[in-house]
Structures are given as C-alpha cells and as structure tokens.
Amino acid sequence: MSSANGTVGHIVSSSSGMSSNLHISSISSDEFCSIKAPFITQSSGVLRSTAFREYIKESNISSWCTDSLSDFLDYTENSPLQSSNLQLMPSEDVGKPNDWQDWADQLITDDDDGVSPNWNEILVDTPVADQHPKMAYYVGKASKTSSSLKLSTPVPASPGDACTPMTPSSCGSGSQSKPRMRWTPELHEVFMEAVNKLGGSESATPKGVLKLMKVDGLTIYHVKSHLQKYRTAKFKPVPSSEGTAEKKPTPIQDLPSFDFKTSLEITEALRLQMEVQKRLHEQLEIQKNLQMRIEEQGRYLKMIFEKQCKSGIDQFGPSSSTLERSEPELTNEVSSSPSQLETEPDPIKVELTSTEKQQVETDHSESQPSKRAKLNESSTKLS
C-alpha cells in the first residue's frame, strides 16, 4: 500500500488486511447541509496527496470518520479546521447522490437492543449533524456490492427478538464492505430451528436457512458464514476429546486406585481456574463501569461550562457569589485545553475498598451536588 508518509504507511501495514473499493467525495462547507455525500473529509490538502488518497481507496472506511469529522467542524469554534477549504471531488463508481439518500433510508435499522450507536444522541445540538446519521450507515457499502444490500423493504423490527442489528462498521477481509452482523442468542435460536427443519447442519443450505428464518436485513452471506461456524463447532468436540484422552497422563480406566485422586486434583485445579477467571471478569466489569462514569463526569463538566457561558450567572440560582468562585474554577478547568483538567490539584478520587464499595469524592461539590448524589447512588448499586 502506498502511503502519505512513512508513519502512516507503517501503521497501515500492521493492521489487518482490508480491501474495499471506496471512493471519497468531499463537499464544501457551504453545501454541507444540502448535498448528501457518503463521505466527507475536510482538508483538501489531505485528499490532494494522491498517495493518501490511494491508501484510502484501498482500505475500509467506516462511517465513523464521517461523524467524527463533522464533530470537528461543529463543536470547536476556534479550531483551524473550519478554515480549510473543502472541494468537491466526484467519485467514480458510486451512483448519484439521490440514490444514496434512498439507500440510506432503506438501510437504517432500528436499534432495539441498542447495539447500533444512537447517532442522534452522539451528535448533540448540531442541526447539520442530523443529516449525517443516514449517511453514516452505508459509507462502508457505497461501492459495487451496494446492490446486494439494497433492501426492497425498509427494516422494521422482526417478530420477537430476531431483529438483526446491523452495525455501520465495515466488514472483515474477504467480504467487501458488507455490514457486519451482530448475532444474538435469540437470532441463533431462530437459525438453529431453521437448520433443524432442513435436516441438520450438514444438509441445510444457506439459501434454505435464510428463507426459513424470515429475518429482515439478514443476507445469505451472514447465514453462510454463520452456518460454517456452526458446522465447525459441532464437529470440533470429537477430535479434541480424542486428543485429550491421549494427552491424559493417567487414563482413568487403567489406574482405578489413583483415578479418584487425579480427577479430584484436576477438578480442584479447575475450580481454582474458575476463581481466577471470575475475579478477572468481576474486575473488568467494575473497571468498565468506572470508565463510563468518568467520561460521564467529563461530559457533564463540559455541559455545565457551556451552559454557564451561554446563559450567564442566573442559571445557577441562589448565591451568585458561589458562582463567581466556581466560575473561574470551571473556566480554568474546562477551557479549550483539557490538559488543564488533568493537572487539577485535587483530582476526583474513586476508592475501592476490599468489599468493593465505591465513593466518589469531588471538590466541585458546589457546582454539581446532584451529580455527586447520582454517582454515589449508582456506585452503591455496583457493590
């Protein structure tokens, strides 16, 4: 792969192989709202660099880029990005803009189980951004395989939980820009029923299964790969169990007097393994919750700051003196450089005792009493 500069090339080569023919168009900031292009980049400088453009052509680009870039343009006012000059560059294989709009509408899936990101939630207060969610979904599909993805009917919720959450992110190697299916146990149940009706995993065909399942948004590629995995899982246990029998140091049949102890030892060791694994999992869950809380707090701080800027001191009610104190504090913290936030003298401490109780202490108590209560409440739930 060619690359714009050495560093970029290096990173590219080390990531997993991706292939897709994706073409970029960018639009000027004026036409941002009116033209619906599948992919938007901001700096013409980037795209002019043919090497980089080549690189982009050869790799998958997720809808992510679209949104994150739109965010740049939206929320940082003093960002130099805004001054960059956007140019229209026609892409070759992709159809007219009008088609994309239709595809976008058809491809939007509901997120019953909240798997696909809720774009509207992410893009706050940006009217321009509202138009992006529709575009975002099919960025990865804007190339030749789009015809196979064009669904004749819009995607409503399938009966029961067999809804197919399709994520906008692009697919793995081999499959070119097909939406990645996120399977659920319920969907798998439907799959198995269909397979059993067709006489089992060996005789069932992807086409037959697809037809029987009657799940909107499910394609034959999804079924095919799932069936393959299913077959592998069914027939793997036999060879591995034979393997284990050979590996076993003391075959149970041969040493009746020692079996009991050995198998008991093994069982106890397995029990210990379970303890370690359970603990790891427990800690991971706690860590994840903490991480989410931390970001929630950061978001809250930012929101507070913005509110204060917009509506002035009256927003916060009772004592304006309190606000005068906290305002410079907040101004210092939530300024354009979040690095200042990080060198805050009294960081919010989150403590874990041995019983895993959590306390969130903050010295911004005056400005966010409700938030603290909320955090405390949710943290006690965790323990």
Partner 1 sequence: MKFGKRLKQHVEETLPGWRDMYLNYKDLKKLVRLISSSLEYGKSEAEFVYLLNNEIDKFNMFFMEQEEDFIIRHKELQQRIKRVNESEPSSQEEYEEEMSRIRKDIVDFHGEMVLLVNYSNINYTGMAKILKKYDKRTGGLLRLAFIQKVLEQPFFTTELVSKLVKECETTIDELFPTAMVAVELKDATITMVGEGIFRNTVAALMTMKEIRNGSSTQSHFSLPALSLPDTELIRSFQLNSPIPSI
* Residue closer to partner 1 (CB basis): 78 or 370: 78
| CB of 187 vs partner 1, minimal distance in Å | 8
* Residue closer to partner 1 (CB basis): 115 or 151: 115
Spatial CB neighbours of 90, under 8 Å, sequence gap ≥ 6:
25
Q: DSSP assignment of 13-81, as one string?
A: HHSPP-----------STTTTT---S-----HHHHHSHHHHHHHHHS---HHHHHHHHHHHHH-TT-GG
CA atoms 342, 343, 346, 352: torsion sign: positive
* Residue closer to partner 1 (CB basis): 99 or 285: 285
* Residue closer to partner 1 (CB basis): 98 or 354: 354
* Residue closer to partner 1 (CB basis): 118 or 315: 118
| CB of 34 vs partner 1, minimal distance in Å | 23
The two three-digit tokens of residue 258, written as one number: 């020692």
The DSSP 8-state label assigned to residue 173 in this structure reads: S
| CB of 299 vs partner 1, minimal distance in Å | 7
| CB of 33 vs partner 1, minimal distance in Å | 20
* Residue closer to partner 1 (CB basis): 51 or 155: 51
| CB of 112 vs partner 1, minimal distance in Å | 13
Spatial CB neighbours of 30, under 8 Å, sequence gap ≥ 6:
none
Which helix (H) or strand (E) is 122 found in, with range?
A: helix 119-122
| CB of 348 vs partner 1, minimal distance in Å | 3
Question: Could you tell me if 26 and 42 are in contact, meaning their C-beta atoms sit under 8 angstroms apart?
Answer: yes
